[in-house]
Amino acid sequence: MEKRGSILIVDDDEDILVAGKLLLKRHFANVVTLSQPNQIAAEMRKQNFDAILLDMNFGPGESSGEEGFYWLAEILKIDPNAVVIMITAHGGVNIAVEAMKMGATDFVSKPWQNEKVVATLSAAVKLRKTRNEAATLRQANRTLVQDRGAQRLIGNSDALKHIHSMIERAAPTDANVLIVGENGTGKELVARELHSLSNRSGEIFLSVDMGAISESLFDSELFGHKKGSFTDAKEDRVGRLEAANGGTLFLDEVGNLPLHLQAKLLTVLEQRKVTPVGSNQPVSIDVRVIAATNLTQKQLNDENRFRQDLLFRLNTVEIDVPPLRERPDDIEDIAKYYIKLYCRKYDKAYKKMSPEALAAIKAYDWPGNVRALRHAVERAVILSQGNTFTPTDFALENQSVNAGEPENKRNGDAANSEAELALPDDDLNLEKMEYLLIERSLKKHRYNISHAAKELGLTRAALYRRMEKYGF
């Protein structure tokens, strides 16, 4: 088994240092010893330690623990996420408890038991890893908040102004929010904006695609598990709900959950506690829940489709994001924004849209909503050869749904749509075939990712990866 973890032992007793190093180097990748605590800062600048074993007292006759308190504080100044285990003499438990109140993680007593020391430090190394991951998430979240203009709700329609007003009123509260709307309308952007304007903006925003979690792994993914609780549980794992503690948890496509899993989610949201698989000790959580679904109001109100008690729990505030066809005034602003974005990304000279192109994209009903418009713009930026963008650059004439046509006319043209999307029999390139199959399924289901993925025999996550690959 590969040894992991870097340990620092600080003690003025050479016997402790020698014995500790001999013991711990059999279990951890790196063990460093120091007999003088004033060398701690220099050593921490040289390398990162997953855990630090720190003596409470230095020098003969010392028993107050004051030096230990001082050096603990100095370590935490250098690295606030440091995992420090205090070494205390027998009977010094009260002093060790005080140290833990100051930020120490645990303590071991002299003379120590080898098994206990190894177990304590193994847990400390795992804790350090968790703290590092949490710090990385918080930093990534701060970056997203600072740069949220890179992905934002664009437009000045009355519908979008109403959404911004709802966000501004709901964000400062901890109320649960349900965001409803078709695929591609920007529900996650609404969720991120709610988080960035909330009192939790400095904490984690964790997004979970509920449609991509298999039923068998639901409990483990959301609630976590203990080592050995099932066949593949090789180590303890923190669930998504606990990982989002203190921040915001975004439950995307919550409408895809079967009823029996909806019941489990409801229980957790009501109790604000999770119990990892294989444990009988519940863990309290403090999260702000934002959920999103593409279900219609009729489907949400169907008790055979969605639990009404869960709906009441989730939609303290409900924000409806209308499809792009219902806010055509925003299409021009969105298109111009993405033209600038992709011209910079692909190092292309900026081009304007011709009046005909602008009229065409505003008349089109965009079954894939903003997501489809964004990809159409990206494709146009890459392939356009003229001085301005023309209607043909956006390939609207090749779409299976034509702007301005009534629904029954579209249904009547199904055969023509299939003909346009027919797979070539003279080119059997696998990637081209996959691209065309995905394109056909997305258009057939009007960019409903769940339905398209099901028809293609893929998970939603797998379909999203292929869409990203092929630029949909």
Which domains are delineated in the chain? 6-131 (3.40.50.2300), 147-322 (3.40.50.300), 327-470 (1.10.8.60)
Distance CA 181, CA 300 (A): 12
pLDDT at 91: 57
Residue 409: the pLDDT is: 37
Q: Please, are residues 229 and 199 in contact by the beta-carbon 8 Å criterion?
A: no
Measure the CA–CA gap between 101 and 241, rounded to whole angstroms. 26
**d(C-alpha 144, C-alpha 196), whole Å:** 9
- Residue 406: the pLDDT is 38
CB-based burial label for 436 (10 Å; 0-12, 13-18, 19+)? middle
Q: Are 177 and 311 in contact (CB under 8 A)?
A: no
Cα–Cα distance between 320 and 154 in angstroms, integer? 16
- What pLDDT, on a 0 to 100 scale, did the predictor assign at position 415? 39
Q: Which amino acid is at 149?
A: G
Residue 410, Cβ neighbours under 10 Å: how many?
16
**Angstrom distance (rounded) from CA 195 to CA 248:** 7
DSSP single-letter state for residue 347: T
Say how far apart CA 320 and CA 178 lie, in whole Å. Answer: 8
Contacts of 397 (CB under 8 A, 6+ apart): 391
Residues in the chain, pLDDT under 70:
1-2, 60-63, 90-92, 137-151, 397-428, 471
Q: How far apart are CA 379 and CA 377, in angstroms?
A: 5
Q: How far is CA 411 from CA 100, 381, 397, 402, 416, in A?
A: 69, 32, 17, 11, 10
Residue of 63, 45, 230, 246 whose CA lies nearest to 137: 246
Q: Where are the beta strands (DSSP E) in 253-295?
A: 273-274, 283-284, 288-293
- The pLDDT of residue 57 is 85
